[in-house]
Amino acid sequence: MITSLAPTYKKVFGDYWVLWYAISNSYSVINSDFKLLLDTYLASETTTVFSSTISNELSDSDKAQISDTLLNYLECCNIPYTSATTNLAKLDTSLRNISKQYIFDTKNVQIHYSSELVLKTIHPSIAHYCNSSTHKADVTFDIYLQNDDLYLFKDKHLISCVPKSDYHLIQGKFIMQLLCVLHNKVEQDWIGTLHGSTITDGNSSMLFVGKSGKGKSTLCALLAANGFDLLADDVSPLLSKNQHIYYNPSAISLKEGAFNLLQPIVTNFETLPIVEFNTTKGRLKYMPCRIPRKQHYPCHSIILVNYQPDSETKLETVSIKHILETLIEDSWLSPNPKHANQFLNWLNGVTLYQLTYSSTASVVTEISTLFKQAPQTL
Partner 1 sequence: MKKDNNSDKITRKEAISKMGKYAALTAVGTFVILNPLKAQSSSPPDPGGGLFPPVD
Q: What residues line the site for partner 1 (CB under 8 A)?
A: 24-31, 33-34, 36-37, 39-40, 43, 53-58, 62, 65-66, 69-70, 73, 76-77, 81-84, 117, 120-121, 160, 164-165, 167-169, 171-173, 175-176, 192-193, 195, 212, 234-235, 253, 277-278, 280-282, 321, 324-325, 328-333
C-beta closer to partner 1: residue 108 or 160:
160
- The number of residues in the chain equals 378
C-beta closer to partner 1: residue 136 or 281:
281
Q: How far is the CB of 319 from partner 1 (least distance, A)?
A: 11
Q: How far is the CB of 226 from partner 1 (least distance, A)?
A: 24
C-beta closer to partner 1: residue 43 or 361:
43
Distance of CA 353 to the CA centre of its chain: 17
HSE (side-chain half, CA atoms, 13 Å) at 14: 13
C-beta closer to partner 1: residue 171 or 301:
171
For 28, 46, 74, 205, 274, the CA distances from 42, given in Å and listed in that order, are: 16, 9, 10, 40, 57
Residues 222 and 244: their CA atoms lie apart, in Å, by 23
HSE (side-chain half, CA atoms, 13 Å) at 199: 25
Helix (H, G, I), strand (E, B) or coil at 81: coil
C-beta closer to partner 1: residue 265 or 275:
275
Burial (0-12, 13-18, 19+ Cβ within 10 Å), 212: exposed
Q: How far is the CB of 238 from partner 1 (least distance, A)?
A: 12
Q: How far is the CB of 113 from partner 1 (least distance, A)?
A: 12
Q: Which helix (H) or strand (E) holds 356?
A: strand 351-357
Q: How far is the CB of 5 from partner 1 (least distance, A)?
A: 13
Q: How far is the CB of 372 from partner 1 (least distance, A)?
A: 30
Q: Which helix (H) or strand (E) holds 119?
A: helix 116-126
C-beta closer to partner 1: residue 179 or 364:
179
C-beta closer to partner 1: residue 95 or 175:
175
Q: How far is the CB of 171 from partner 1 (least distance, A)?
A: 4
- In eight-state DSSP terms, residue 90 is P
Question: What does 235-299 look like in DSSP terms, one character per residue?
Answer: EEEEETTT-EEE---PPEEEEGGGHHHHTTTSTTGGGSPEEESSSSS-EEEEE--PPPSSSEEEE
Question: What does 286-312 look like in DSSP terms, one character per residue?
Answer: EE--PPPSSSEEEEEEEEEEEE-TTPP
Measuring CA to CA, which residue among 103, 102, 105 is closest to residue 143? 102
CB 193 within 8 A of CB 332: yes
Q: How far is the CB of 150 from partner 1 (least distance, A)?
A: 8
Q: How far is the CB of 167 from partner 1 (least distance, A)?
A: 6
> What does the radius of gyration of the chain's CA atoms come to, in whole angstroms?
23
C-beta closer to partner 1: residue 108 or 342:
342
C-beta closer to partner 1: residue 192 or 292:
192
